Amino acid sequence: MRDEVLVAIASDADVVLARQTGRSMATQLGLSRSEATLLATAISEVARNIVEYVGDGQILLCIVNLNGMEGVKVVATDSGPGIENVEKALQDYQSSGGRLGLGLPGARRLMDEFHMISEVGEGTTVTMTKWKGSRGG
């Protein structure tokens, strides 16, 4: 198993690849089926945001070990227009694209750790981690 996989995101097929790669890494690491599903769903949400709002970006998937805990870390980056109000974007039903607006807040709820930084005109980075043995497992 590779400890790091970089997936370029520019189409729905890339979203599927990132999701499948994350699920595979989680399973190989020993996360439960439900933990792997939560991870895959969160990856889908952030990857779809890249495709829909920016056009292209990347997702780095990493196996992490910290203080005896193992997990999968996801770093989604793009160089798009950025998000003016990150706090508002992380609230339910705050879509700027006419959708339900559950993508980023939903991903945050599914993961054990979630952090987003965004600068207008510079892009957005979402970093999130699912730990083995965490809730949902």
User: Residue 79 sits in a domain of what CATH number?
Assistant: 3.30.565.10
Is residue 24 one of the residues assigned to a domain? yes
- Give 111's pLDDT tier (boundaries 50, 70, 90): very high
- Residue 54 sits at φ, ψ, to 5 deg, of -120, -45
Is residue 59 one of the residues assigned to a domain? yes
Residue 103: pLDDT over 90? no
Residue 80: pLDDT over 70? yes
CA distances from 69 to 29, 62, 63, 72, 130 (A): 11, 14, 11, 10, 10
How large is the average pLDDT for residues 59-65?
Answer: 97
As given in the structure block, the two tokens for residue 39 are: 């991870």
Is residue 136 one of the residues assigned to a domain? no
Is residue 40 one of the residues assigned to a domain? yes
Is residue 82 one of the residues assigned to a domain? yes
Domain limits at 78?
4-131
The pLDDT value given to residue 93? 52
User: Beta-carbon neighbour count of residue 132 at 10 Å?
Assistant: 17
- Give 69's pLDDT tier (boundaries 50, 70, 90): very high
As given in the structure block, the two tokens for residue 1 are: 């198993």
Our count of domains for the chain comes to: 1
Is residue 137 one of the residues assigned to a domain? no
